[in-house]
Structure 1
Amino acid sequence: MLLKTLAMPNNTNANGDVFGGWIMSQMDIGGAILAKQISLGRVVTVQAKKINFIHPISIGDIINCYGKCIKIGTSSIRIKIEIWVKRLYSKPVKEKYLSTYGTFIYVAIDKSGKPRKFNKKKFI
């Protein structure tokens, strides 16, 4: 697990569901944690791809962000991210369910913000 947080009232839209943009930001934070660990330094997000929102998230739901590195390039890292939800306020159909998934691409950068190479052999 990369990240765990709680859906709060200020994260909702006019319908009372959690904003998709807030969910994407949690995915990005979780993915960046893994990318930093892999690259051993600073990273930036360069792309979010194929994000699928399967089930809505409600206030009070526990958000669990999981990630897996699926490709390491010379300076880039591709991570598949999933958001799994656990409901606490009502009896869920399942204990946890998949709410959202997508792929994020990060690039390792140096102090001046330029892409930097890293030794990917350490991680293969």
Structure 2
Amino acid sequence: MPADLNQNGDVFGGWVMAQVDVAGAIPAMRRARGRVATVSVNSFQFKQAISVGDVVSFYADIVRVGNTSITVKVEVFAERNHAAPITVKVTEAELTYVAIDAAGNKREVPPENAAEME
């Protein structure tokens, strides 16, 4: 949307960062089987700008699971040039989330096969 663009027609980095956080939280919440909170952005690299008309895709994979934390790598790709489409990686990031309970306190991440144990 126009409010998300700079004067050159490129998407603001802050908008991209917010979407990366949402994308990374999804596998973290699934693995934690509940709420998570972002505790750190370990790395964030903008490789190319995202421009008006680009179709943007976010791919998130868990790279590490600790006692209470889950680290996720997110890669962002843009498809551009509708006449002869090309796909380019525009951003990559690694974020760490912590599993939290209903009161917002840290909790342990359940074992991966916890559902099978019940």
- TM-score after normalising by structure 2: 0.88
Give the deviation of 1:15 after TM superposition.
Answer: 2.5
Cα distance in 1 between the residues matched to 2:108 and 2:59 = 25
Cα distance in 1 between the residues matched to 2:29 and 2:107 = 13
Identical columns (%): 39
Distance 1:9 1:90, change over 3 A: farther
**Hey, which bits of structure 1, 4+ residues long, moved more than 6 A?**
none
What amino acid sits opposite 1:71 in the alignment? R
Cα distance in 2 between the residues matched to 1:118 and 1:30 = 19
Give the deviation of 1:49 after TM superposition.
Answer: 2.0
What amino acid sits opposite 1:13 in the alignment? N
Residue in structure 2 matched with residue 64 of structure 1 by the alignment: 57
Identify which range, 75-84 or 10-19, moves more after superposition: 10-19
Could you report, residue by residue, the CA deviation over 1:12-45 in whole angstroms, capped at 9, with x for unpaired residues? 1223210011111111000011111110100111
Residue in structure 2 matched with residue 15 of structure 1 by the alignment: 8
Could you report, residue by residue, the CA deviation over 1:66-89 in whole angstroms, capped at 9, with x for unpaired residues? 011110001100001100111254
Could you report, residue by residue, the CA deviation over 1:37-59 in whole angstroms, capped at 9, with x for unpaired residues? 11010011111122110111001
Residues 1:98 and 2:92 aligned together: no
Q: Which runs of 5 or more residues in structure 1 are unaligned? A: 1-7
SS in 2 for 1:56: coil
Q: Which of the residues 69, 74, 83 maps onto 2:67? A: 74
Cα distance in 1 between the residues matched to 2:41 and 2:103 = 23
Cα RMSD after superposing both structures: 1.6
Which protein has the larger Cα radius of gyration, Structure 1 or Structure 2?
2
Residue in structure 1 matched with residue 38 of structure 2 by the alignment: 45
- In the alignment, is the contact (CA less than 8 A) between 2:31 and 2:112 conserved in 1? no
Give the deviation of 1:10 after TM superposition.
Answer: 2.3
Distance 1:69 1:27, change over 3 A: same
SS in 2 for 1:18: coil
